[in-house]
Amino acid sequence: MASVTIIGGHGKVALRASRLLADAGHAVTSWVRNPDHAGDVEETGAIAVVRDAEHMSSDQMAEALAGAEVVVWSAGAGGGSPERTRAVDHEAAVRSMDPAATLADPLYVMVSYFGSKPDHGVPQDNPFFAYAEAKAAADEHLRSTDLRWVVLGPSTLRDEAGTGRIEVGDELDSGEVTRDDVAAVVAHVVEHPELAGRTIRFNNGETPVAEALPRLT
């Protein structure tokens, strides 16, 4: 079992993933910015620690990540100002990567979104532009590191009960996927580090998660 640190632990996907991982026997530590959210995290079986990734230095990140075998980035500004979006979704994410690379061969899992790429195509006057730019830059930086990395690109998120079934592939058009199923993909990737070095874009589909992802290896 792995020692897993989730950054952005109170997010809807992160809470679901931490429960799956803790239930599977992993030691899960989840960072939350708001101390009032610690109880929700601990109900999943994870250990909650108060960490504000937006304002942490690289040295502080390194100290906080010590001992982690897997790092899951699931933090985000949540539609704030372009400046804060850049500060959290790009700059803070990048600040977590170099310290992670000093750990003992960790796996770094980036929870991104389906359309994240340098040529994302979002017009500059679109309110989503700042997020698209920030995520693309963070994902590209991660790919340039020496880390074992996986970038997850789920399509439009929904809150319905998970199906346990997805479709995967760069040739897909973006569709929809439940947060339950995104969490299931996160948990599967944590347990299958041989998937490192891949960007996995996915929708809900017809293939069980445990069968769809091994096909990528």
Q: Tell me the average pLDDT across 114-141.
A: 94
> For position 217, what pLDDT does the model report?
61
Report d(CA 6, CA 22) in Å as an integer: 12
> For position 78, what pLDDT does the model report?
83
Q: How confident is the model at residue 30 (pLDDT cuts 50, 70, 90)?
A: very high
Domain boundaries defined on the chain: 3-216
Reported as a single tens digit per residue, the pLDDT across 41-78 is 999 999 999 999 999 999 999 999 999 999 999 999 88
Q: The pTM is what? A: 0.95
Query: Is pLDDT above 70 for 184?
Result: yes
Per DSSP (E only), the strands in the chain are 3-7, 27-32, 47-50, 70-73, 107-111, 148-154, 156-158, 165-168, 176-178, 198-204, 207-208
- 183 and 12 in contact (C-beta within 8 Å)? no
Top CATH class of 3-216 equals: alpha beta
Task: Give the list of residues 6+ apart from residue 85 with CB closer than 8 angstroms, or none.
Answer: 77, 79, 130, 131, 134
What 157-166 contacts at long range (C-beta under 8 Å, 24+ apart), as own/partner pairs, is: 157/12, 157/13, 157/182, 159/12, 163/204, 164/208, 164/209, 165/204, 165/205, 165/206, 165/207, 165/208, 165/209, 165/212, 166/202, 166/203, 166/204, 166/205, 166/207, 166/209, 166/212
Q: How confident is the model at residue 79 (pLDDT cuts 50, 70, 90)?
A: confident
